[in-house]
Structure 1
Amino acid sequence: IAGGGAVGIELAGEIREAHPNTKVTIVHSETRLLSDVYPEKLRKNLEQKVLAQGITLIDQDYIDVFPDPLFVTDVVTRKGKTIKDADLVIQAFGSRPNTDVINTLGAGVLTEAGHVKVKPTLELPDHPGVFAAGDIIDWHEQKQALKSGSHMSVVVPNLLSFLRGQSQKKVYKGSTEMIVVPIGRLHGSGYFGVLWGVILGDWFASMIKGKDLLVDMSRKSLNY
């Protein structure tokens, strides 16, 4: 599994639970699982639980070439490590945001990773009246659909103020980081970025998300 974020961890746990004799390896670009948005304590906690499930971790490395699923054998990482006799390679890292059209505004509007540079008002620097929200913005936070509501609570009033010729008073100060990462049905960790940062263990991850990965809740929210 290429990518040790929440998706990669959850997928590894699901595979190990359904097929306990299957060898699973996570290749992750950072020194710990998840990203540095989250505290070291949580990342270390999840790493220990992943290893306890017999999942192999290769950190600070990448898989650059994804072989044909029908003809996978050995997989070689960027640093030359060989994962032998692989049956399947799964991409579980984030993709580049679809922001190429914003380049029409001129040079310097995007970061090297393709995210849109914004001021705390979520307006683009040097482009009055142009706002951005969602996963495309360059903000040090985990990309989650949940945060889009917080973005829009800043963008909408500021956009209306701009149209009225008034100063923009709403600023985005970030959102509280929250995540639940199950490792199979019975293990995992949850994190709430309040107070000193609250980390909850297996029982919480299992109760909240481990049983069905919130599929039933998502289905109902989409009226499906």
Structure 2
Amino acid sequence: MRKLLLLTPLALAACSDSEPREEPTPTPTVAQPRALASADFDLRTLGARIVGPQGPQVETVLSAGNREIAKMVSYVACPEEFDECNPGELPEGTLFTYVHEVTLVEEAADDSSAEMAEGPEMVESPPTLFRTTERAHGSNFAVGYSNSQALEALGNEDAISITADDGRLIWRVVEGDGWAPGTTITFWWQSTQPPAGPADAYLLEVDGNQAIARGPFPAEEKRAEQTPAN
């Protein structure tokens, strides 16, 4: 009588363990841009401004190539209840409002339009946007712009969408008749971090022209020191 050879579960496991296992390759996840709710700019909610080395506001000229395309006036304000805005004397968690008034030059950039027309056929018009080029440190994602100014400059007070992309804030014109030369739009955002000083941390893109803008910008948040384990 022929005997059957039975393999125990442990023997089967040993056989399967001897085969090489292919480890799964982790797939990095890419953070998608996040849409932010916009609020109208209201001066009545602002208190005193921070006075820096250049005074209570920073003025800068935005140029593309050899041509001026806009001017920007920026400042940082405390909440309305503060008559003075000295970051070193304020309680932790105080919100600072960063304000940027961007005014386009009176005349449109005709030269750049002519150069672009000579190149390949354009499928869509170049974007019009204002953004931070660095992560907005300490941002609570309270952001917005002046609705009344957007109505005058773009023909639509809801013409601007706002997104956060890897911590960077982007105001993008998505509707309207185009940004009218000579008009101003005020952009604002909040942070728990006071400005570390003026920085080339902003960018304006309009009519295919990009210009870096200098304005107050917060320092990176201080991380709590780790206590060594006993």
Q: TM-score range by the shorter chain?
A: under 0.3
* Higher RCO (CA-CA < 8 Å; seq separation 6+): 2
**What TM-score does the superposition give when structure 2 sets the normalisation length?**
0.22
Choose between structure 1 and 2: higher helix proportion: 1
Give the TM-score taking structure 1 as reference length. 0.22
**Structure of greater Rg:** 2
